[in-house]
Amino acid sequence: MAKKDKGDDDFRPTGTLAILAIFIITLIAIWTTIYMILVGRGGTL
């Protein structure tokens, strides 16, 4: 099975990296926002 098609070898998922970059930026932004709420509210001990 899995016969190679022409072009499979030079397929570079550049679009994938771009989408994931947007995702990661969003992830860091949202996560950090919530984290800063936590830190702003102070200690619990």
- x/- contact string, 5-44, with other proteins (CB under 8 A)? x--x--xxxxxxxxxx--xx-xxx-xx--xx-xxx-xxxx
Q: Minimum distance from CB of 10 to other proteins (Å)?
A: 11
Gap between the Cα atoms of 11 and 8, Å rounded:
5
* Cβ density class 23-38: b for 16+ within 10 Å, e for less: eeeeeeeeeeeeeeee
Which residues form the interface with other proteins (CB under 8 A)? 1-2, 4-5, 8, 11-20, 23-24, 26-28, 30-31, 34-35, 37-39, 41-45
